[in-house]
Structure 1
C-alpha cells in the first residue's frame, strides 16, 4: 500500500472514531484519546495514575547520579503516543574512601561527586609532612572510568632537630622530639640564661624559638660619692640584686630614689639621687603682708606677718622654718574686724542672731505685739568693733480708757488696756446700740472701732429692691408700722409684699425681690393672599415665622420675620401680588415671577401687560 493510500485510510478511521466513537479496525475512542504512562529505569514521574488524557503532560525526573536523556516534560498524542525519556548515568566519580589514601593524609575539596578530570588536592594532618616526587603528585584526578587516580604522595611524621645544650649550660628533654614535646635549658653557676628557658616542637618540625645562650652574670659600676650626703654600701662593682641606700646631711633633703638596685642590665634601676638644701616656701596671706618679702627662707629663719587696716591677725605672728621644710606653725589669716552680737531685748526680737558682724553690717530690732520700741531700731557695727547707737527697749502699749455711752454701760473695764484686751457695750431699755458692740485694743495702741452710742430702738430702715420701690416709708419705724413693696413695669414681685414692724424691733418676714417678666409676641400680622408657619397663639423673643404666598402670587418683602424683646415683629411690610401684574413691584426684579417690571424688561421683552400703564 502506498504512503498516500495509507494516509487516506488513517484519516477515514479518525473521522469514523470522532463520528461514532468506534472504528471497524477495533480501535476504541479511548485508545486514541489517552496514553499509558511508562516507568523509566533509575527515575520516576509525577502522574498519579497509569494513564493520562490526550494533550495532558507528564514530567519525568532521574535518581541522583543520573540525568534525563530526552525531554523531561512530554505530552500525550493521538493513538496513545508518549515520547518517554530515559535516565542515563552521569559521568564522574563519587567521594573517594579513606582506604584510597595512606595514613595521615587528607584531601580537599570534599563533596558527594566530582566531574571527570576534576582534581582533589592532597595534604597531611597535624604532625605529618607531605612528601612528593613532583608537583603533579600533590593532587589526583577523577578518571573517565569513574575512579580517582592512585595516590603517589605519602605523609611522614614530623620531628624537630636534636636540641643542643648552650655553652656553660644544660638541656633536659626526652627524644623523639615530635610536635608538642618540650625541652628545658639552664646555665651553670656564674652564668645567666639569655633567651627562653623552655622550647616546644611545632607541627612544622621547627622549635618555637631560637636556642638560648648562657652569659656571665652582670655587675654594676659604682656611682661615686654623694655631695652633702652618704650611702651604706661602698664597692667598685656590685652584683645583681645589691641595694645601695642614700641619705643626706642635716639641712638637706634627698631628691630622687633613696634605694638603688643593681639589675641584670649592669645598670642600677634609678639614677643617683642628689642632696639639695631644705627651704621653706613663704605663704602669702590676703589683706596682709610678711617680712622678709621673698619666695623662701632657710632652716632656722623666721617670717613675721602683719595685717592691713581694718583687719586683725588670727594665728601666730612669727613662723620659723624647720628641718623638714615646713614652718613650725600654720600661716595666720587676716580677718575683718567684727562686732559681737549686741544681745536680745525683752519683749522683742532681731532680724538676725549671728555671733559676729562685719564692719558696716546692721542689726534691726522690733517689738512683740503690745509693745512699742523706745530708741533706734537699727544698730551698725563700727571700726572699733562696737555697735552704735545703744540697744533700744520695748515698752508696753496701752489703749485710751473708753467712755461709757449715754443711756448705756461697758463690760470688761480695767485699769489699763493692753493689746487684745476686749470691752463690750450695752444700752438701757428702750435704746439700741449704734456702732460696734465689742471693741479690741490693737497693737498700735488704738481701739479697732469708734465707741458706739445708744439711740432709741425701732425696726431697721428697709431697702427697696432692684427695679422696685417701697410704699409707706418713714424716717424711723416703731412697732405696728407697715410698708408695702412694688415692682417697676416689666418686673414681678417674688415674695411677700406687705410687712409690719414687730415689738422686738424686727420686720415680720424676709423682704422680696423684683424679677423680670419674660418677653414675647402675639400672633404675627396677617398678609393678604398668604399663610405663615409655624402657627401658635404666642411666641418667645427670638422666634421666627415664614410667610408663603398663595398660587399665582409672589411675596414682596422678607420671607421671615422675628419676634423682638419688645413684643413686636420685624421686619414688616410683607405683601403678596399676582405674578402677571406690576402692582407693587415697579422697577423691581422678582425672581420666579411670570413677567418682569424692572427697567430692563423692555430690552428683554419680558414686561408685564400693565407695566406701561402702572410704571410710566
Structure 2
C-alpha cells in the first residue's frame, strides 16, 4: 500500500495542479446538475389567422424561432393530438429548394427516413406545389404531410428552440427533443454538456530534441501542437510537429536528432558549379562557387560554405533566364512571338500587325536583349485618317469620332435648315481605306411646282421668302355660281410639295324640281341642270288654286328661294305676312355662320354651326328657317369631349378639377399616397381633346407588416417510456389587442408558462397592414 502511494504521488507538480483543477470542476458540475430541477422545453405555437407560407414563416421568426422542424414520429403524434383542428390545416418548415424538399430552419435536405407524406403525395397535381402542410386531426391521414401552393393561406405552426448559443459548452451540436435536449459532442470533446476535452499526455522527446508546444484547449489536450528542433550540428529525423488528436493520441512518436554533414549540392540549371574540399579551401571549410550561361542571371550567392553545424552558409543559387517585361498585342492589332509567345525570355522576337483600317506607329519587330530590355518600345495601331469634312452651306453636320477626329469608323450626319432639301447622302462614314463612303452633300432651296388658277375661279398667293416658293400660301375662290371642290388654301411644305391637290370650281346646282300634282312647271333652264339663276314658274290646272310662291329661283347657295308650291281645289288663299324665325346666338365654345335670303333670320335663312377643339357638336350641323316661322331643328350646342371615368384603388388618393364637367376635356386629376408609401407612376393626368388621358393611373407601394392582434393559449402534455400520452386542454386565458406604434415598435409581448412539454401560444398578425 505504501508503495502504491509513493507511485501515485510521484507526479510532476504541473500534473498535480491539473488533476486538482479537474476534480474541482467535476465537483462543481455535479452540484449544478443536482440543483437543476427542470430543463428548458422545446415549445410549440400557432397563429389564429391563416397566412401564405412566406408570411407564416415571417410570423414564426418574429415571435418565436421558426416554422416547426419535425424530428420523429413521436413528435408528429404529439402535434396531431395537441394542436386544435383547423379546416385549412397548418404550414410546417419544409419547402422545395433547388428541386429538393428542404428543412428551411436547418437548410438540410429531407431524408427518406424522415418523410411522412400522405398517400399519393407529394406532387400529385404537378403544378408548383412547393410548400408543405401537416394534416392536424385529419380523419383520413392524421399528422401526415401534403404539398400545396405557397400562396394559399393556412395557420402557421411554430416552435421556440430550447437550445441556446451556450448549450453543449459550444463544443457540440444541441439536438432538440420534446421537453429536453441532448448534446452530440464534436470530436475531441465528451461529457453531458461536452464540457471535457480529450488529453494526450506530455510527449517525452529524446536527447538533443528541443520542444515548443501550444495548448488552445488545455495542457497537452485535443488540438495541442508541439514543434521540434535540434541543437546545432544535428538534423531532425522524424516529424517536425505533433498534434493531439480527438482520439486522445498524438499524430506520431516524437522525432530524434542525428548529426549530419552538409547536404550535397547540384549545379544550377543553365549554370556551372565548382567546389573545393576543406584541405583545398583557404578557410579550411568545404566551399562551392557558381556561374551562369549567357542569357541567364545568377539568383543567390556566388559562393557558399559548409559550417560546423552541417549547414551551408546559404542555399544554392539558381540561374534564371533573362526575361523582358511582358508585351501585349496592340489595341486593334496582333502580336506574334518566337520561340515562345508567353515567356518573353532572352532572344525572344515579337512582330506586330494592325487590323484593317489601322496603321502601325513604331517598330514592327522587337527583340529581348541580354540586359532584359526590349530593343524598342511596343508599337501602337492608329486608325487611318480621312480628309476633314467642312460643313456644307446652310447645312448642319453632326459627327461621331470613336477612334479620333475624322479617322476610321468616324460617322458624320447632315441635315438642312428649314426651307432647304439635302442633295446627296445624309450620312458619310470614314472607311478602312482612309476615304469617305460618299462625296459631301449640299443643301438646295425647297421649290414647289407652280400652281394655276382654277377654271371659273381665281388664285391669290403670298410669298414671304421672295422668289423661293417655300412657305408660299395660295388662296382659291370661285366665281359666282360655282363652288370650290378641294382645299381653300395650299401651303408649300419643307418637303417641296404642296399640302394638297389644287381645287376645282364646279357649277352650283339646286335640287331637281318636279311639277306640282295637278299643275305645270316651266323653267328657264332648258337643259334641266337647275344651275344658279334658273327661274321656275308654277301653274295649276283649271279648278285648282296655287298654294305657295308662283316663282322660285336657284340661289348661289344651291337652294331654291322657296319651297315647292301645291295645287289645291277652291279659291286662292289670302296674301300671308312676311315669315321670320327666332334669332339665333352662337353656341358657347362654338361658331355660327348664317346666309340670310331676304331678311335677317327670314324665310330660307340657313345657319351652319361648328365647335372649338376639345368640344363636339350636339344637334344638327345646319338648320333652315321654314315657311311656318320655325327652324327645321333646334339650335345645336357644343359639349366638352368626355374621357373615361377614373376609379382609384386604395390607398391611392385622387383630387380632380373639372372646368367643363366631370372627366371631360380640360379636367386635371392629381394623385398622392398615404404617408410612408411611394407613388408608382405619373402624379398628374389631363383629359385631352382626343378624349384620352395624358397618363395612366398610378399605384401606391404597399407598406411593411404590422401586428394587429394576439391571442395566447396555454397547454401541456405528459410522456411515458413507451411513447407520448397526450393530456390537458387548451384554455383561452388572455386576449389583447395591440396597435402598431408610429415609430414601428411592436408592444406585443406574449408571456408563457412552461409545462412538461411546452407552451402553445397562438398570435395573429396581418402581413398586409
**TM-score by shorter chain over 0.5:** no
TM-score normalized by the length of structure 1: 0.34
Which has the larger Rg? 1
More strand by share: 1
TM-score normalized by the length of structure 2: 0.28
| Larger RCO of the pair (alpha carbons < 8 Å, separation 6+) | 2
